[in-house]
Every structure is written in structure tokens, then in C-alpha cells.
Amino acid sequence: MTLVFFICLLLILYGYFIYPAVLYWLSQKYGEEPGSCSDYPDVAIVIAAFNEEQSIGQRIENLQQLQYPGQLHFYIGSDGSSDNTNDILAQIDDPRLQVFAFSENRGKISVLNDLMAQVEQDIVVLSDANTEFAIDAVSELVSGFVDGVGAVCGKLHLYNKQDNQNQDGMYWRYENFLKFHESRLGALLGANGAIYAMRKSLYQPLPKDTVVDDFTIVMNIKKQGYKVVYRTLASAREEVAPSLGDEFGRRVRIGLGNYKALKQCLWALAPEHGILAWCFWSHKVVRWFIPHMLVLLLFSNLFLLQHGFFQFTLLAQIVFYGVAWHAIHKLQNHNYVASLQATAAFFLLMNLALLKGFWQFCLGNKQGQWQRTARGGDS
């Protein structure tokens, strides 16, 4: 049990602290800045939406205001929306806009596959209905398509409009740090689903039960031998989920998708892929199984209480989980908690969500239907 305890502890520390430190060192020593090009071909912006009456109008206005030297074309698919999304889209008069109002709610991936089949442009930007692009975001994305680059990932900023203490924005800054340095080493994993671009010719239709489409699409591009780069100047922003409960539901679904994606991308773990395999193991696989290691850490600790050190580690775990659970209870009742407590609550809920997602994966949950994330403006 001692070996189990220390292996779990080391992997947890490795996933969250040691890997980022080593990654940063390697990036500083061996990393390369992505190149830039000055060609600006016609670009398609593709968005799949479901019941987005609160944001779809503003999203189209945002797209219309973008400054790009070439031509932009907007492909919007409404996946059997039952609110006013279709009516809002029908009132927009813009020759660049093509709306596909599907009568049946089939799921995001089915809509995405259909929209990509309609696209005629060589470069496609993929985004979400609740995202806001910086005015030069598309120009910055496209400038990253030098020879050998198959996809370009932008930088997403999360903001907390309602001050609801959702710590996802802080966690996302941590993820952006990892993406930046992985990109410098040629090992960027996945993309920010809210803002990334790809060569249309490299798109491979996805199974309809795919959940983390941004990760799967980009890994398919890597598998075809193309580079994926990260451009911090291609920026967008998006509001965090309005509550920890909404964030938990979103992360359960992402967790389910992660384990599906792992099954599809086992090829990337082979040693011959070098730095890509190391980053995949370290950033994704280890992180996705940290909930399991937390359970094993606590369980193994219970068998080692004859030593004072392990009595202390058990007490530390109990205190941490107690503080996190108390913070969750307070946040659910809309009470303020200190930042460290909110972070502990977010950490616990994030890993519980991953664990639930893994359980759903083991049960064979297809999750093909659209799972819309709550917005701050929802009632």
C-alpha cells in the first residue's frame, strides 16, 4: 500500500506541477515561435447552435464587425432549435450568411458534419454561438497557416460577468499556459473550441457521438502529419457557466468525451511520436485519471495509519475535502467564500465530474444529443 500511495501522490503532483515546470523549461530551451504568412484567402466561419436566442443575434453582429482582408462567409446551423433562434437568424439580411435550420435535433456533431460538407472555402474557422471574437481574430488565425500547418488555435479568455466565483477562468489561464508552451515544442493537443481554424481538406467527419470535437478534429489533423500552432494574438472571450452546478454538468460531459477521445487517439501515445506522446501522456492521460488516483490515495492511506507521517497525510486530505465541501455548500447558497476555498471547491467538483464522466463512459453512454451549456443570461 505504501507503493500505491506514493505512486498516486507523485502522479498527482506531476500532472499539476512537475509537468508544467518541465514543459516550460523545455519550451524556453528548445521551443520555436510560430511563423506567419501574409496570404488571406476566403474564409468560412462555421457555428453549430441550439436554442441560442440569448446570444445568436449578438454573435452574428460580432462576426459582421470583424476586420479581415479577404472575404468571410458565415455558415450557421440550427439544430432543431425550439426557441426563437431560427426567427432571429431569418431576420438577418447579409449575403455572406448561410443559415441551415434543421428540423430535427440530432446533436452538434451531426450539424457540424453537415455544415463542413457545405463549405467551399479552403480555410474554416470553428466557433461557438456565445463566443465574442476580437476584431482581428480571424486575420491572426489565418496568418498562422504557413507551410505544413494544418490548424491554428486561438486564445480564449473566460470572464465572470455575474461574479459567481466560478474558478473556471483561473483554470483556463493555466490551460492556456500549457497550450502556449506545447505549441512551441510542436506538441499542441486539441484546440480551444471557441476559436480555432483548419484547412478544410483535412477535416474528417466525426462519429455522431463525439463529445470533445475540438480535441478530436485537431488530433486527426496531427495524425495526418500536419502541425498545429497556437497564436495568442488570435483572441476571443466567453462567459463562464453561471454556477458551479452548471460547470459540473459541463465537465461531466467533457469527462465522458475525454475518455472517448482517448480510445480514438491511442496512436498518439506511442513512443515514436516523441514529444507529442509525452505531452499527451502528461497533460491529458495523467490528468484524466487523477480522480482515480485521488481515490486510491485516500484508500491506501487508511491502511498505513501505524506511521505518524501517514496519520498526517490522512488528516490533510480530510481537512482539504472538508474545506472544499463546505465551500461548495456555501457557493450553492450564493454565499461568498475566500478565493482559496473557491479554488478547492472547483478542484473537487472538477475531479468528481471527471469520475462521473468515466462512469458514464464505462456504461456506454452515447451522448449524441446536444447538451447546451447554461449562459449567464439564462433565467
State the fold for domain 43-242: Spore Coat Polysaccharide Biosynthesis Protein SpsA; Chain A (3.90.550)
Helix (H, G, I), strand (E, B) or coil at 312: helix
Nearest C-alpha neighbor of 317 from the set 348, 354, 352: 348
Q: At what angle do helices 244-264 and 339-362 cross, to 10 degrees?
A: 50
Paired strand residues for 199: 123
Q: Do the strands 149-159 and 123-127 form a parallel or antiparallel pair, or are they unpaired?
A: unpaired
Q: For position 161, what pLDDT does the model report? A: 67
Q: For position 379, what pLDDT does the model report? A: 35
Q: For position 38, what pLDDT does the model report? A: 85
Query: Which pLDDT tens digits describe the chain residue by residue (379 residues)?
Result: 899 999 999 999 999 999 999 999 999 999 998 889 989 999 999 999 999 999 999 999 999 999 999 999 999 999 999 999 999 999 999 999 999 999 999 999 999 999 999 999 999 999 999 999 999 999 999 999 999 999 999 999 887 766 555 555 678 889 999 999 999 999 999 898 999 999 999 999 999 889 999 999 999 999 999 999 999 999 999 987 766 677 788 889 999 999 999 999 999 999 999 999 999 999 999 999 999 999 999 999 999 999 899 999 999 999 999 999 999 888 888 788 888 888 898 899 999 999 999 999 998 875 545 555 554 444 3
Q: For position 366, what pLDDT does the model report? A: 59
Q: Could you say which DSSP state residue 193 is in? A: T
Q: Do the strands 132-133 and 123-127 form a parallel or antiparallel pair, or are they unpaired?
A: unpaired
Q: For position 240, what pLDDT does the model report? A: 77
Nearest C-alpha neighbor of 153 from the set 175, 129, 130: 175
Q: Where are the domains of the chain?
A: 43-242
Nearest C-alpha neighbor of 1 from the set 302, 307, 292, 294: 302
CA distances 237 to 159, 258, 271, 309, 322, Å, are 7, 23, 36, 45, 34
Fill in the amino acid letter for 219.
M
How would you classify residue 94: left for phi > 0, otherwise alpha for psi between -120 and 50, otherwise beta? beta
Q: Are 204 and 223 in contact (CB under 8 A)?
A: no
**Apex 213 CA angle, 210 and 215, nearest 5:** 120
Nearest C-alpha neighbor of 213 from the set 357, 99, 107, 78: 107
